[in-house]
Amino acid sequence: MPNDIVERYSGNPILTKADIPYPVETVHNAAVVKHGDQYIMLFRSHLRTGRSIIGLACSQDGYKFVADAEPFLIPTQEGPFAAYEEFGVEDPRVTKIDDDYLITYSAYSRNGVRIALAKTKDFDEIERVSLITQADYRNTVIFPEKFDGLYARLDRPHSEISPWSIWITYSPDLVFWGESQLVMKPEPYHWDEMKIGPGAPPIKTDRGWLSIYHGVFQTMDGSVYRLGAALHDLHNPAKILGIGDSWILQPEDPWEITGYVHNVVFTCGAVPEPDGTVKIYWGGADTVMCVGEAKIAELVDLCLQHSRAAV
């Protein structure tokens, strides 16, 4: 295995609060997708209230992004979402399926944190579709294909008895979700022993669905957020084919080690490229956006050849 399976871009960080035309304190945990010949980034920003909103930035090459003049998604004051977005909207993920980009994000309120689903065709008009989980869920990514006619998502409920594990859930219509199953748990005394959560929406490869997830380890100096890789069966995504035993990325650059929350690399998006590489985007220390590249085949090899148990 290569030592650095993810090669950091030398121009990191690629987007910071200095690049945003409206007042924000951070730029992090962004979804990135290709839309036509552009890369679209939906990023999270803290305001000075400590609450978060979501902004949009565009790029021709996946490295140099220019932010829109106005935020993309702020807590709504109207309709059924208002009571659940009062404390902010966080950590978007985007999946293209058919003609729609589906956006999942964490909706925070005095009622807890739950997942909201919105959709857009053009990143101009956005429609809120449904609040798709109850409270105590974060980190929900939708697969870009259906399985036996059903949408599938990886999600991350929390319970005291089985902390912060990854589950799979299905839906016929994006509104009603069920048939949930546990697929993957944190591994005791391991880099991801405290909690795990889906990161980027899964990427289809010839050997399975590649999922880049985050794992957390608790230290005397607080938690360390790292990234890992897991492989799900192509036809039955509830089946894990392998989970890489070692992390693929950990906080090392100064802007990953120090910031709003120290020692964090956290992904919400990765873009596969035609040459077999993947651009992985991550927030550094909940403060800035970074990008790096990996070879998809090497990530898949890590999952299959250096595997740890799933549950």
Q: Which chain residues interact with ligand BMA by CB under 6 A? A: 29, 90-91, 225, 261, 264, 266, 283, 286
Q: Which is nearer to ligand BMA, 47 or 261 (CB)?
A: 261
Minimum CB separation from ligand BMA for residue 223, in Å?
Answer: 7
Q: Which is nearer to ligand BMA, 85 or 91 (CB)?
A: 91
- 13 upstream amide cis, omega within 30 of 0: yes
Minimum CB separation from ligand BMA for residue 225, in Å?
Answer: 5
Longest CA–CA separation in the chain, Å: 51
Q: Which is nearer to ligand BMA, 74 or 261 (CB)?
A: 261
Cβ atoms within 10 Å, residue 134: 11
Torsion-angle region of 62 (φ positive above 0: left; ψ -120 to 50: alpha; else: beta): left
Minimum CB separation from ligand BMA for residue 265, in Å?
Answer: 9
Minimum CB separation from ligand BMA for residue 128, in Å?
Answer: 20
Q: Which is nearer to ligand BMA, 192 or 286 (CB)?
A: 286
The residues facing 59 across adjacent strands are 39, 65
Q: Which is nearer to ligand BMA, 151 or 167 (CB)?
A: 167
| CB-count exposure of residue 67 (10 Å: 0-12, 13-18, 19+) | buried
CA–CA dist 162, 93 (Å, integer):
24
Minimum CB separation from ligand BMA for residue 197, in Å?
Answer: 8
Residue nearest to ligand BMA (CB): 261
| CB-count exposure of residue 18 (10 Å: 0-12, 13-18, 19+) | exposed
